[in-house]
Structure 1
Amino acid sequence: MTVSAAQTLVVKIGTSSLAGPGLGQFALSTLASLVETLCLLRSQGHQVVLVSSGAVGIGCRRLAMAERPKTLAMKQAVAAVGQGRLMRIYDDLFSALNQPIAQVLLTRSDLAQRSRYVNSYRTFRQLLALGVVPIVNENDTVAVEELKFGDNDTLSALVASLIGADWLFILTDVDRIYSADPRSNPDAQPISLIEDLDTLKALKGAAGGQGTTWGTGGMVTKLEAAQIATTSGVRTVITNGKQPGNILRVLQGEAVGTQVVAQPRPNRGRKRWIAASLPPNGRLYVDEGAAKAILGRGKSLLAAGVTQVAGEFQPQDAVQLCTPDGEEIARGIVNYGDQDLKRIMGRHSDEIPQILGYVGADTVIHRDNLVVLKP
């Protein structure tokens, strides 16, 4: 089977796709098919990263627990039990096909802090250069609530952005995205292609809620992950996890699952970091003139263009830039904290020293630290 030229792929498989039909069982046939598919892709020159859920679910089954734990401490303990078992299964399957693998456990701070983000990038690039398939999961054992990704859909999108992947495949328990929840709406229509962010955002409002009993994500998290990835220039596919061969079919040009078209990729790694991995701590509302300057010419944001400040943040934090009606158009690293910015918003740059009593930056957000999110 021949596929397209060598590319970098991130493949995420969820707990619902890994779980077998009964307590204590594991969908080994699905997992074996996934491993075989990934090894075939590797043999054709593609670089592959696997983001795998399942540590908590496997830990629950290993400990004969009837339901997913509710408290963070119990989740961490169960994840510690399950992660080793999960990697043992992967190692056995990949080793049968002579494919080396590596375990990579991440927390949100690994990608939110610039120095750790760069170090993570270098580690992934070195592993891929060695022909290794990194297997990524959230480091549930040590992550505290405020530093958690929340779900592996988000984690997979952030990893795809980090390494500048060409494709993100989210393997789940449905064949594609629908216009509404097909479980409750018989008129829900399948969607094969999403070409713009506005359509993607609209679908999030109609998507189903919480996922399966064992999983943490629903369809909303997959759409949010697609938004993160495609904003970073990564084409995203949501398809059935029980049929890993769909990955090959997509790469051959078939219309399988729901494909989300990638937006123009930020040409600098720092801007990908700002757009995808740096959590925003506040919002700045800008007037129409500032919005046009940012969208049309990629200009820096000046205090004169800010009309409202929301949230609490410090200098060098990330903030969202919004139009007067609340639409986010850009994201950037701010040069002023929220209190100082409230004092200088709407004012000219040459007035800032007199208002604040010190000489600050001429810009609220410099264009080098600003990423446009709306094409």
Structure 2
Amino acid sequence: MADLPTRVVFKLGSSTLVAGDGSPDLGLIASVCDQVAELVARGVGVVIVSSGAVAAGMGRLAVKERPRDIPGLQACASAGQAALTEAYAVELARHGVACGQVLLTRRDVTDRDGYLNARNTLQRLLELGAVPVVNENDTVSVAEFAFGDNDTLGAIVATLVSADLYVILSDVDGLYTANPQEDPDARLVPLVRELTPEIAAMAGGSTSSVGTGGMAAKLRAARASVAAGIPLVICRGREEGVLLRAACEEGVGTRFEPGEGSHEGARKLWIGLAEVVRGTLVLDDGARRAVVESGASVLPVGVLRAEGEFEAGDVVNVVGADGALVGRGVTRYSSDEMARVHGLRLDVIARFMPEKDGQPAIHRDELLVL
């Protein structure tokens, strides 16, 4: 048996956590808490990132379809959050384990001080032997619904607590070569060492009526997690003993392994995971190779075009000419400026924009390559 991780983050999706009538599946929560308590007893610090507040609130408020308006979503989240927290607290208390609720908004993780405060709270709860139960604060956060899923939130939390493992408990067994509901020859991919375009092409959207994520969202979370040097496992949350088996590396689901030397600094991870993306820089093939293979900064000469409206200092996506995501970083030019300088060498730019003399479009120190 492999050594247990020191800290592990488990994320439960709505489609796994919520029963058919829309209420929290108390039996599943009890099973999860049994396994979490066993890990805590073995000295593992555990964080639960729990979706399901909106879906659980739908059941409690007798709302039959997921609301499309923000007040309706927030009302359901308000009712459901109380039910979820109570369920976790009761089940963990049976084992003498305390839990602490941590509700985050996007503002909490995009603001640097908020990011550090959240980290300190989570760290202290773990030091006290408690299990933090984390969710986005859906009752007040409009941006949460644009954010779209808790898979990336889980990756952010994993970096906040310096986790050794991040596990997404889903309603599927893991990543398949194709949609197993449509292709009888689809095979489970047990191990991914590199997130290639071929791997990304295997992902689809959410098929659940209560969830907001899908395999594509899980692959985005995997990119972020492995960039932080944290292995990620996607597995079926209702499988017997799955938390313990994933923690013990017993080959459940699909495991994404970081590459050699994969461990970006906290500043880059904050940029890449937490900040709101304002636009996109599209690179030519030469610039993409220089960034990915040689660790270069993004230079204006390699930028084919800019998309969206952004200011200098905003975070933007960096993509290749084929649209594949390369990374995310802080641009030193606005979108208007990029429209003037893309495709030009730095010495040429300095002739008519001397204040930008020597400035790359994105400096390597402010670029998270995904």
| The two structures share one fold, judged by TM-score above 0.5 | yes
Residue 127 of structure 1: aligned partner: 125
**1:285–1:306 contact (8 Å) kept in structure 2:** yes
Cα deviation, residue 252, structure 1: 2.7
Is it true that 1:364 corresponds to 2:358 in the alignment? no
Residue 160 of structure 2: aligned partner: 162
**1:37–1:244 contact (8 Å) kept in structure 2:** no
> Could you tell me how far apart the structure 1 residues matched to 2:300 and 2:183 are?
48
**1:6–1:45 contact (8 Å) kept in structure 2:** no
Cα deviation, residue 137, structure 1: 0.9
Residue 203 of structure 1: aligned partner: 202
> Could you tell me how far apart the structure 2 residues matched to 1:147 and 1:56 are?
11
C-alpha deviations, 1:272-298, integer Å up to 9, x for none? 112222233222233455444433442
Corresponding residue SS for 2:279: strand
C-alpha deviations, 1:300-341, integer Å up to 9, x for none? 333333332222110111123334444433322111101112
- Of 252, 257, 276 in structure 2, the residue corresponding to residue 256 of structure 1 is 252
Is it true that 1:240 corresponds to 2:236 in the alignment? yes
> 297-306 vs 66-75, which deviates more?
297-306
Aligned ranges 1:214-233 → 2 under 5 Å: 214-233=210-229
**TM-score, length of structure 2 as denominator length:** 0.90
Corresponding residue SS for 1:178: coil
**1:48–1:134 contact (8 Å) kept in structure 2:** yes
Is it true that 1:313 corresponds to 2:338 in the alignment? no
> Could you tell me how far apart the structure 1 residues matched to 2:306 and 2:298 are?
13
Aligned ranges 1:55-66 → 2 under 5 Å: 55-66=53-64
> Could you tell me how far apart the structure 1 residues matched to 2:161 and 2:152 are?
15
Amino acid at match of 1:49: V
Corresponding residue SS for 1:177: coil
C-alpha change, 1:265 and 1:356, in structure 2 (3 Å) is: same
> Could you tell me how far apart the structure 2 residues matched to 1:296 and 1:269 are?
22
C-alpha change, 1:244 and 1:223, in structure 2 (3 Å) is: farther
> 209-218 vs 192-201, which deviates more?
209-218
Cα deviation, residue 25, structure 1: 5.1
C-alpha deviations, 1:147-172, integer Å up to 9, x for none? 64312223222322333322111112
Residue 303 of structure 1: aligned partner: 300
- Of 274, 279, 301 in structure 2, the residue corresponding to residue 277 of structure 1 is 274
Amino acid at match of 2:341: I
- Of 92, 103, 107 in structure 2, the residue corresponding to residue 94 of structure 1 is 92
**2:282–2:321 contact (8 Å) kept in structure 1:** yes
Question: RMSD across aligned C-alpha pairs, in angstroms?
Answer: 2.4
Residue 19 of structure 1: aligned partner: 18
C-alpha deviations, 1:64-100, integer Å up to 9, x for none? 2323223211110111111112111111111111111
Residue 112 of structure 2: aligned partner: 114
Is it true that 1:38 corresponds to 2:36 in the alignment? yes
C-alpha change, 1:223 and 1:306, in structure 2 (3 Å) is: closer
> Could you tell me how far apart the structure 2 residues matched to 1:119 and 1:283 are?
30
**1:107–1:147 contact (8 Å) kept in structure 2:** no
**2:346–2:357 contact (8 Å) kept in structure 1:** no
Number of equivalenced pairs: 368
Residue 9 of structure 2: aligned partner: 10
**2:169–2:236 contact (8 Å) kept in structure 1:** yes
C-alpha change, 1:27 and 1:287, in structure 2 (3 Å) is: closer
> Could you tell me how far apart the structure 1 residues matched to 2:305 and 2:206 are?
34
Structure 1 runs not aligned, ≥5 long: none
> Could you tell me how far apart the structure 1 residues matched to 2:217 and 2:344 are?
39
**1:9–1:167 contact (8 Å) kept in structure 2:** yes
> Could you tell me how far apart the structure 1 residues matched to 2:173 and 2:49 are?
19
C-alpha change, 1:71 and 1:253, in structure 2 (3 Å) is: same
Amino acid at match of 1:262: P
Corresponding residue SS for 1:254: coil
**1:72–1:145 contact (8 Å) kept in structure 2:** no
Residue 182 of structure 1: aligned partner: 180
Cα deviation, residue 366, structure 1: 1.9
Amino acid at match of 1:255: G
C-alpha change, 1:252 and 1:220, in structure 2 (3 Å) is: same
Amino acid at match of 2:336: Q
**1:344–1:352 contact (8 Å) kept in structure 2:** yes
> Could you tell me how far apart the structure 2 residues matched to 1:166 and 1:128 are?
14
Amino acid at match of 2:52: G
Cα deviation, residue 34, structure 1: 0.5
Amino acid at match of 2:331: V
C-alpha deviations, 1:334-371, integer Å up to 9, x for none? 11101112222333434445413645663322221122
C-alpha deviations, 1:104-123, integer Å up to 9, x for none? 11122222233322222222
**2:264–2:368 contact (8 Å) kept in structure 1:** no
Corresponding residue SS for 2:57: helix
C-alpha deviations, 1:249-281, integer Å up to 9, x for none? 233332111212224433410011122222332
**1:194–1:261 contact (8 Å) kept in structure 2:** yes
> 364-373 vs 345-354, which deviates more?
345-354
C-alpha change, 1:200 and 1:231, in structure 2 (3 Å) is: farther
Amino acid at match of 2:352: I
> Could you tell me how far apart the structure 2 residues matched to 1:16 and 1:320 are?
29
> Could you tell me how far apart the structure 2 residues matched to 1:30 and 1:163 are?
25
